[in-house]
Amino acid sequence: MKNFFHLVGSSAFADLFREFSELGTETIPLSAALNRYAAQEIVAPTALPPFSRSTMDGYAVRAEDTDNTHQHPPRMLTVTNEIRMGYPGHNIILRAGEAVRIWTGGELPDNADAVIMIEDCRSLDDGKIEIIRTVAPGENIIRAGEDYQRGEFVFGKGTKLCPRYMGVLAGLGITEANVFKRPEVGIISSGDELVEPADSILTGQIRDINSTTLAALVTEAGGIPVPLGIVADNFALLRDTCRAAVNRPVDLLLVSGGSSAGKKDFTQAVFKELDQSDLHERGAAVRPDKPLLIARHENCVLFGLPGHAASAMAVFYLFIRPLLMRFSGANQDGFQRIFVQAGERISATAGLEEYVRVRLIPRKDAQLPLAIPVYGKAGFLRPLLEADGLLVLKAECHVLNQGDMAEVILFS
């Protein structure tokens, strides 16, 4: 049984997301800002480095004093001073024929224009050094502001504060970060057959998988999961739980399990009652037979997801994660894409953008990984583990032959 996971209309969703804007901002300690998104452009508050520095252990010199090292007698310089780490060096004046001992990171004397590495000198007894190698002006030094001028653009609004961006902020003396708030995401699993994972199951019952998976996916995408538990297939119960969530308010409400033909009615009816826009009229189609439901209540977006865990996860990566990125103020769409080669022939429905679950086989010698479609009946857990991502089949691409290159949206 061929059961590709086909989605239709993701670009329509991208258009729809433009109706939403990022959440508010907050200022938090830099140490707590890992992987948050910058709410403002960062410019250098001071020049970096703040003073002209040596990048090596050696001697600060005037480069011209190191010319002609092959002549006789050899070039000698008199060491007049030492610049200790953490102490100023600019008040030292270097005269012709003089050198000053300096360490990596130390401030240069005012008129030094190069540093000669310790390995390129020979230390003599009488406080002199012999120059073995010529240095050019600017060699082994960084001038004040050469890295960043004061007021210069460092990085933009919406940048994810990865470790290296945090390091740069620390280096600039910025110890509080102005970031976008994290979206709060309510998570409901609906279905009379569902029980908590810790419960023992009776015949006909099944453990709730989506609450766990979706909470972890939300966390990973930078959101705050708000678990709202299992709700039976009952209109009033589902409506009241959803209403409490949107009044809390959460920024996004995920209701999984309500999209099979039988249960869809509840979720659709609840969304219709809560919706204040026409969003619920414009859901994207997901095949086979998995309509997505979407609605809006004030600033909260309500999503109806398939109940099958593997389908719910695919919908999360394709639609929910990009929306979370938008709420979070991120300057990226949240897709982690890689290139692959089709490991076998993969055919699509003409004229529709489709996504095929694939596993990836890494190869040696700088060859792209091979993508192999993962078959599996709807409702199987196995594809959750076996598939590494979703291969993108563009609308204009009817078939991918073995060896053709394609793009895959990676699962984490």
Question: Which part of the chain contacts its own copies (CB under 8 A), choosing from 16-24, 101-109, 246-254, 322-330?
Answer: 101-109
- Among residues 65, 107, 251, 354, the one that binds its own copies under rule CB under 8 A: 107
| Subset of 315-374 contacting its own copies (CB under 8 A) | 338-339, 366, 368
Q: How far is CA 372 from the centre of its chain?
A: 26
Using the Cα atoms of residue 283, residue 286, residue 287 and residue 291 in order, give the sign of their dihedral: negative
CB of 410 to its own copies, least distance (A): 10
What contacts 151, CB < 8 A, 6 or more positions away? 43, 44
Measure the CA–CA gap between 327 and 179, rounded to whole angstroms.
12
- Among residues 9, 97, 105, 291, the one that binds its own copies under rule CB under 8 A: 105
Task: Determine, following the binding rule CB under 8 A, whether residue 87 of this chain makes contact with its own copies.
Answer: yes
- Among residues 2, 70, 126, 200, the one that binds its own copies under rule CB under 8 A: 200
Measure the CA–CA gap between 139 and 115, rounded to whole angstroms.
6
Kindly report the number of other CB atoms within 10 A of residue 90's CB atom: 15
| Subset of 40-59 contacting its own copies (CB under 8 A) | 48-51, 53, 55-57
76: phi then psi, degrees, rounded to nearest 5? -120, 145
- Among residues 122, 345, 382, 398, the one that binds its own copies under rule CB under 8 A: 382
Q: Which is nearer to its own copies, 109 or 297 (CB)?
A: 109
CB of 295 to its own copies, least distance (A): 22
- Among residues 220, 281, 298, 344, the one that binds its own copies under rule CB under 8 A: 220
Question: Which part of the chain contacts its own copies (CB under 8 A), choosing from 63-71, 189-197, 273-281, 324-332?
Answer: 189-197
**Closest by Cα among 19, 3, 9 to 279:** 19
List helix spans (H) across 46-96.
none
| Subset of 267-286 contacting its own copies (CB under 8 A) | none
Contact string (CB under 8 A) for its own copies, positions 240-269, x = contact: --------------------xxxx------
Question: Which part of the chain contacts its own copies (CB under 8 A), choosing from 191-199, 242-250, 274-282, 353-361?
Answer: 191-199
Token digits for 294?
Answer: 């979407």
Task: Determine, following the binding rule CB under 8 A, whether residue 206 of this chain makes contact with its own copies.
Answer: yes
User: In this structure, which amino acid lies at residue 15?
Assistant: D
Question: Which part of the chain contacts its own copies (CB under 8 A), choosing from 18-26, 123-131, 277-285, 307-315?
Answer: 307-315
**Closest by Cα among 268, 269, 238, 258 to 305:** 258
**CA angle (5 as vertex; 308, 411 as ends), nearest 5:** 80
User: In this structure, which amino acid lies at residue 268?
Assistant: Q
362: phi then psi, degrees, rounded to nearest 5? -70, 150
Task: Determine, following the binding rule CB under 8 A, whether residue 210 of this chain makes contact with its own copies.
Answer: yes
CB of 301 to its own copies, least distance (A): 20
Question: By the 8 A CB rule, do 399 and 357 touch?
Answer: no
Question: By the 8 A CB rule, do 117 and 167 touch?
Answer: no
Task: Determine, following the binding rule CB under 8 A, whether residue 18 of this chain makes contact with its own copies.
Answer: no
Q: Which residues pair with 79 in a beta bridge?
A: 99
Contact string (CB under 8 A) for its own copies, positions 135-174, x = contact: ---xx--x---xxx-----xx------xxxxxxxxxxxxx
Segment holding 171, helix H or strand E: helix 163-171
- Among residues 9, 17, 80, 103, the one that binds its own copies under rule CB under 8 A: 103
Q: Which is nearer to its own copies, 74 or 88 (CB)?
A: 88
